[in-house]
Structure 1
Amino acid sequence: MENAVKDYAAGLAAGLATVTVGHPFDTVKVNLQARSPVAHASAIRCAGWILNHEGVRGLYKGATSSFAGMAVEGSLLFGIYSQTKARLQGGEAAARTPNLSTVLPSAAFGGGIISLILCPTELVKCRLQVQEKGSSSKELRRYSGPLDCAKKTIHAGGVPGLFRGLSATFFRESVGNMCFFATYETSRSFMLSHLSKETSLSSRLQASSFSQTLFEAVVGIVSGGVSGMAFWVAVLPFDVAKTRIQTALDLSESRSLLFNLRKIRRELGFRGLYTGLGPTLVRAFPANAAAIVTWELTAKLLGSRQLHTLESSLV
C-alpha cells in the first residue's frame, strides 16, 4: 500500500508538470482542430491571433480544468501503470530489458481507466479554449468559466453530456499510452545499456551523485520527449475527432468516432485527420519530457521506483 501511494503521488506531480509546460501548445492545437482551417491557417498564426486578442492568459484558457484533470490523470496513469506492471512481473524489480508483454497491457489498462476522467475534463477545457474573449456573440462566448461550462453542459444533455467523445478518448488513451510506454521503456533501456559500455563515463557517474542525477534527467528528457511524440503520431486522428465531437454546438450531431473520422476525411482529406500536428508535436516533447523527469525524480525521492536505476545499469 505504501509503495502504491508513492507511485500515485509521483504520477500526480508528473501530471501537473505536463499542464504547466504543455497547455499553451494545447490551446493552439484545439483551436486549429475545432475551427475552419482557413481561420488561422497555421499554428504560428493561430498563436499570434490568440496573443494579439487575449494576451498570454488566452493561451491558458481552460487551464483550471486541465490542471485538475491532469493531476488526477497523471496520478492514475503512472500509478496504475507501475502497479499493474509490478503485478504482471510477479512483484519483481524491473528488468534491464523491458518486457513488452507486461508494458503494453499495463499501459492500455491505465489509459482506458483515465479516459473516464479525461473525457469530461477535456470537454470543458476544449469548449473554453475555442470561445473568444469579449465576444458579444452568444455562440462564441457561452461560458464564464469551468463550472459554468459543466453546469450548462449537464443542463443541455444531462450527465451523459459531459461524456461526449468518450469512445474517441478511450481509443486515444489506450492505444496512445501503449505507444508511449513502449517507446519510453525501450528508448530508456537502450540509452542506459549503451552508457554501461562507456567505461570512463560510467566511472565518473558512479563517483558523483550529482552527475548521476543530471544524466538520469537527460535520459528522462530524451526518452520522455520522444515517447510523447510517438503517442501523438499514433493517435492524433482520434484526438481530432474527439475535439470535433466535444465542441460541436449542435448536440444532435453524431458522437460516433468512425462517423466523425470519415466526415473529416471526406471534408478535409487525409491531412485533416492530422490537423494540429505541428503544435501537438512541439508541445509533446517538452511537456512529456517534463512529465517523465518529474515522475522519475519524485518517485526516486519518495523511494518507490519501479524502473531499473542508473546504478543497476552501470554494474
Structure 2
Amino acid sequence: MEHLKIKLQMQSQRSVKDRQFKGPIDCARQVVRAGGVLSLWTGFTGSLAFRANFLWMFGSVEALMRGFSQLQGTPYEVTTGTSNFLAGGFASFAFWLMAIPADNIKNRMMAASPTGPRPSFTGTFRYIYTVAGPRGFFAGLTPCLLRAFPSNACAYYVYEGLMRTFGAEKTRH
C-alpha cells in the first residue's frame, strides 16, 4: 500500500486526467502490468530498514519515562500525563533522527518508474550518496520533526491515558 501511495503522491499534474495513475487500483494494475505481481513489493527492503528504527522510539519512551519518574519528590516532578506527552514527543525525535536515511532510500525505491529496472537498496543508497552526499539521507528531516512531536506526543498521551482509565495494568500478569 505504501508503494502505491508514494507513486500517487509523486504525481505533480494538477488535473486528474493528466495523471499517469487515476487512483490506487489503477496504479496497482499498471505496476503489475509493467513488472509483474512482485513489482508491488518494490522498496520492501527499504521498508524493512525504515520500520526497524521503531526500536529507537520505544526504547526512548521507556528511558524517558524512567527519567521522569526519577524526578518524583523534587521541584521538577511532572504528572504522569505530562511525562507521557513529553516522552512520546521526544521519542519521536529519536525515531526520525535514526529512521530518515532509510525512509529516504525507501521512498526513492518506491518512486522509481514501474517500467524500469527494480531498484536495489544498496544501489539507491549509492545513488543518494553520489548525488547529494551524506546530507541527501537527511532530506525532509525538519518537516518530519515538526510534525512528529505533536502527533506522537498526543498519541502516546491518549494511549497511556486510555490504558490507565480501563485498568490495563490490572489485567497484566
Unaligned regions of 5+ residues in structure 2, if any? none
Partner of 2:3: 123
The residue type equivalent to 1:220 in the other structure is: N
Percent of residue pairs identical: 29
Deviation at 1:152, TM superposition (A): 2.7
User: Structure 1 residues 200 and 154 mapped into 2: Cα distance closer, same or farther (>3 Å)?
Assistant: closer
Partner of 1:76: none
Deviation at 1:161, TM superposition (A): 1.8
The alignment's TM-score, normalised by the length of structure 2, stands at 0.85
Partner of 1:182: 59
Q: Please, what is the CA RMSD of the aligned residues?
A: 2.5
Cα deviations by residue, 1:52-96 (Å, 9 ceiling, x for unpaired): xxxxxxxxxxxxxxxxxxxxxxxxxxxxxxxxxxxxxxxxxxxxx
Three-state SS of the structure 1 residue aligned to 2:70 is: helix
Deviation at 1:254, TM superposition (A): 4.2
Does the CA contact (< 8 Å) of 1:164 and 1:245 recur in 2? yes
Unaligned regions of 5+ residues in structure 1, if any? 1-120, 203-214, 307-315
| Residue correspondence of structure 1 range 161-172 to structure 2 within 5 A | 161-172=39-50
Q: Aligned equivalents of 2:76 and 2:61: distance in 1? A: 26
Q: Aligned equivalents of 2:63 and 2:115: distance in 1? A: 43
Q: Aligned equivalents of 1:284 and 1:200: distance in 2? A: 25
Partner of 2:30: 152
2:97 to 233, 241, 244: 233
Three-state SS of the structure 2 residue aligned to 1:198 is: coil
Deviation at 1:280, TM superposition (A): 1.1
Deviation at 1:133, TM superposition (A): 4.7
Q: Aligned equivalents of 1:298 and 1:200: distance in 2? A: 25
Q: Aligned equivalents of 2:3 and 2:96: distance in 1? A: 19
Deviation at 1:125, TM superposition (A): 1.7
Cα deviations by residue, 1:81-136 (Å, 9 ceiling, x for unpaired): xxxxxxxxxxxxxxxxxxxxxxxxxxxxxxxxxxxxxxxx2112212222125347
| Residue correspondence of structure 1 range 90-101 to structure 2 within 5 A | none
The residue type equivalent to 2:167 in the other structure is: G
Deviation at 1:305, TM superposition (A): 4.2
Partner of 1:197: 73
The residue type equivalent to 1:255 in the other structure is: P
Q: Aligned equivalents of 1:182 and 1:302: distance in 2? A: 24
Deviation at 1:201, TM superposition (A): 6.3
Structure (1 or 2) with the greater helix fraction: 1
Q: Aligned equivalents of 2:113 and 2:22: distance in 1? A: 16
The residue type equivalent to 1:143 in the other structure is: F
Deviation at 1:236, TM superposition (A): 1.0
User: Structure 1 residues 123 and 200 mapped into 2: Cα distance closer, same or farther (>3 Å)?
Assistant: closer
The alignment's TM-score, normalised by the length of structure 1, stands at 0.49
